[in-house]
Structure 1
Amino acid sequence: MLSHANPLRRPARVVIAGVSGVGKSTLARRISQALDLPYTEIDGLYHGAGWVPRPEFLDDVDLFIREPSWITEWQYRDARPMLSARADTLVWLDLPSPIAISRVVRRTIRRSRTRVELWNGNTEPGLWHALVSPEGIIRWALAHQRRYRRTVPAASLEHPHLQVVRLRSQREVDSWLAGPLATAQRGM
């Protein structure tokens, strides 16, 4: 596994891993802009109206990963093997749980208040749902943080072609974007 200080080949097909709240989509947009990679927000492909999974989800994933360059989040168990096989770089946002949870709580409150449409007509169910429901985003984030500590290393072993970059703090994220990624952007 690469540290954020190691040399980086210029990424063309990137997945961003991490639990809810660590900043996967934000980082994906930043990398997309820096490297001119088309960004597909995978939640928009997965969630249909009423939060029902779209039956064509995996077909849509298969379609966009056939392109020569792209960036998306490394989510949804059924899609991960496809994404890992085709990606050249996996960026793992392994931020501490308190940071992820505080961010997801703030995001949930903001989205609940504004009733912003997320994907396919869906809006944030609210803080109570996020805390109490088994499908609630806060409970999900808490339950899945440890899983990434198993699944990301396993994916890197199963797919040795993947450059894996593990970032453990916002400072490391910012440093990596300004250092190794900027160097890769210049094609070095």
Structure 2
Amino acid sequence: MSRVAALVLVLVVLAWVALSIIFSPPPAAEELDSIPLVADPEHPAATEPLATLTVHVVGAVKKPGVYELPDGSRITDAIEAAGGMSKKARPELLNLAAKLADGQQIILPGTSDASATPGAPQAQGPNAKISLNQADAQTLQTLPGIGPALAKRIIDFRDKNGPFTSVAELDAVSGIGPVLLGELSELVIP
């Protein structure tokens, strides 16, 4: 008896769906008016992407300071804007090809900097923090829980996705979970 009732119920539902389609077909497609894309001269920022970014360049450059550069610029462009490298510059300790992010600080190490020796922390003092955007694999391995493989993944992530803009972005690196991120958050800067 229950099979017959289930079959009757299925047939009623199918009949109802068929009648609904027949008596109320979907509305015919209407052609929409096209709207021309014209920039609003009163609100250029609302219609155009960020054309420039602002970066702070310090360290072994001739004219440290804050500079505006075209969007898509690289660290080498920021160093050139700051008058180029000084004689003490150690460019091999910095990825000059990395893309810049708005608000980023670029620190070009020099021979008198603590970071002039590969693997040395990039800041001095008891509360020294390591820059995720400038540290090499050896420097990253000085952090707790970071070995050679994880240091390589951090650098690969940075090279693929551009510079870190916050420490929280470390969570997107494979192998760094909430616990390790919590330990690192007080030891690193973007």
TM-score (norm 1): 0.23
| Structure ranking higher on relative contact order (CA contacts 8 Å, 6+ apart) | 1
Choose between structure 1 and 2: higher helix proportion.
1
